[in-house]
């Protein structure tokens, strides 16, 4: 029987977890195939290492490990999860949802499982779905007492980009990598939790970053395989312009809407496409270096996992304190973007204990890179890789 969660109007993050595959690839490892030098990669991206999944690992394997770690951090059993959302651009297969694969791997039989597809923005889109889902359950739960009661939500961002990279394409091969990061949402004390969600999309620019083949528009065939249609294609200049416009606009709009200034923000979490580019845009926007969390140096662009990975590292290494105000901004293919405020705070005092101890995940965790990363990096080459 799922553990009942006390009704409350505020929902926030009560647990975080990450998983990086064991295989580490340095710039030296990938430079030759991409036709560049390791120095070129470091100077233009700020990325120094990234992780690749093994041939036996799919996105669901990475995601399940991250969710299990997040559940353990939250002090709950996976059977206490009533909603499981997976955000990914690299699903195990076109159907069923990767979330259902994750549910099965975890044994989270009480969870409704579904995917959210919003590329690198996907985790925050999923958080909004989970937030409103749980809030509705708590405010309007009229099910019989013997029925399943509202539980917790797990939202995981995961990518296995290495399986879709053309090693000879310097614009993508030096950036994209694999990893997963998850958050558990549950009730938090008053004045804490999520607020001020804002989202947007521009489908007229959908072809700027995509995997063009394999769907219903261009089904898999010998021609699509031969032509590289199942690899990531990206217009680097267009994406760089999108990021340079969208990131500071999201920050300014979120502050203005909520009557805040950057001095009121203790921690800024954003998607991690290119550390050099993110640092430069952040400084131009007046964001202090010590507020902007950078983790892409050690993991590269892990898509939907980037923002929750940065949040998890901020929690672990800064750390975040109750009452700290976190601004989260995301942007990605689609094109898509979003923002939210998160006032950090622990679970409510009356939150339930786990039904039984959560078993440890079978796949080993990999030590995390520094949250801040190296600070002395040259500015991004406007013609270099960006997303």
Per DSSP bridges, beta strands 152-160 and 49-52 are unpaired
pLDDT at 322 (0 to 100): 92
Residue with token string 């297969």 = 93
Instruction: Kindly report the CATH number that applies to the domain delimited by 11-343.
Output: 3.40.47.10
Give yes or no: 69 in active site.
no
Q: Mean pLDDT by 10-residue block, N- to C-terminus, for the chain (387 residues)?
A: 50 97 97 97 97 98 98 96 97 96 97 97 98 83 49 96 96 97 94 96 94 94 96 93 96 97 96 95 94 96 98 92 96 97 72 33 34 30 42
Question: Which residue in 27, 110, 274, 301 is the catalytic one?
Answer: 301
Question: Which residue in 192, 233, 271, 274 is the catalytic one?
Answer: 271
How far apart are alpha carbons 205 and 209 in whole angstroms? 8
> 291, 313 in Cβ contact below 8 A?
no
pLDDT at 141 (0 to 100): 55
pLDDT at 9 (0 to 100): 76
Give yes or no: 301 in active site.
yes
pLDDT at 143 (0 to 100): 52
Give yes or no: 27 in active site.
no
Residue spans per domain, the chain: 11-343
pLDDT at 190 (0 to 100): 85
Cβ-in-10-Å burial (0-12, 13-18, 19+) of 177 comes to buried
Instruction: List helix spans (H) across the chain.
Output: 27-34, 38-45, 59-74, 98-106, 122-139, 170-173, 222-226, 236-257, 275-284, 296-299, 306-317
Q: Which residues contact 8 (CB under 8 A, 6 or more apart)?
A: 138, 187, 188, 348
Question: Which residue in 86, 120, 267, 270 is the catalytic one?
Answer: 120
How far apart are alpha carbons 41 and 33 in whole angstroms? 12
pLDDT at 150 (0 to 100): 55
């Amino acid at each position: 029987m799922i553990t009942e969660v006390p009704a409350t109007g505020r929902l926030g993050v009560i647990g975080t977890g990450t998983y990086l595959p064991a295989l580490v690839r340095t710039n030296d490892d990938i430079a030759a195939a991409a036709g560049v030098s390791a120095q070129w990669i470091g100077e233009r991206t700020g990325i120094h290492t990234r992780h690749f999944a093994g041939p036996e690992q799919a996105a669901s394997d990475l995601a399940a490990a991250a969710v299990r770690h997040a559940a353990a951090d939250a002090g709950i059993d996976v059977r206490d999860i009533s909603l499981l959302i997976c955000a990914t651009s690299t699903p195990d297969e076109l159907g069923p949802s990767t979330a259902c694969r994750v549910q099965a791997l975890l044994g989270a039989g009480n969870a409704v499982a579904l995917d959210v597809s919003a590329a690198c923005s996907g985790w925050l889109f999923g958080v909004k779905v989970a937030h409103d889902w749980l809030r509705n359950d708590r405010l309007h739960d009229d099910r019989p007492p013997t029925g399943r009661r509202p539980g917790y939500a797990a939202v995981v961002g995961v990518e296995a980009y290495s399986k879709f990279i053309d090693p000879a394409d310097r614009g993508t091969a030096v950036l994209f990598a694999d990893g997963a990061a998850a958050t558990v949402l549950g009730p938090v004390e008053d004045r804490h939790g999520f607020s001020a969600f804002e989202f947007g999309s521009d489908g007229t620019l959908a072809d700027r970053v995509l995997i063009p083949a394999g769907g219903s528009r261009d089904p898999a065939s010998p021609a699509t395989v031969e032509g590289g249609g199942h690899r990531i294609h990206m217009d680097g200049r267009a994406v760089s312009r999108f990021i340079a416009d969208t990131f500071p606009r999201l920050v300014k709009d979120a502050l203005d809407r909520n009557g805040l200034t950057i001095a009121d923000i203790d921690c800024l979490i954003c998607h991690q496409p290119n550390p050099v580019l993110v640092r430069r845009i952040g400084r131009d926007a007046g964001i202090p270096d010590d507020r902007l969390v950078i983790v892409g140096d050690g993991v590269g662009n892990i898509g939907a996992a980037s923002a929750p990975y940065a949040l998890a590292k901020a929690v672990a290494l800064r750390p975040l304190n109750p009452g700290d105000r976190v601004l989260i901004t995301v942007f990605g293919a689609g094109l898509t973007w979003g923002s939210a405020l998160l006032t950090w705070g622990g679970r409510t005092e009356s939150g339930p204990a786990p039904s039984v101890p959560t078993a440890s995940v079978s796949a080993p965790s990999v030590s995390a890179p520094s949250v801040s990363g190296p600070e002395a990096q040259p500015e991004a080459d406007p013609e270099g890789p960006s997303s």
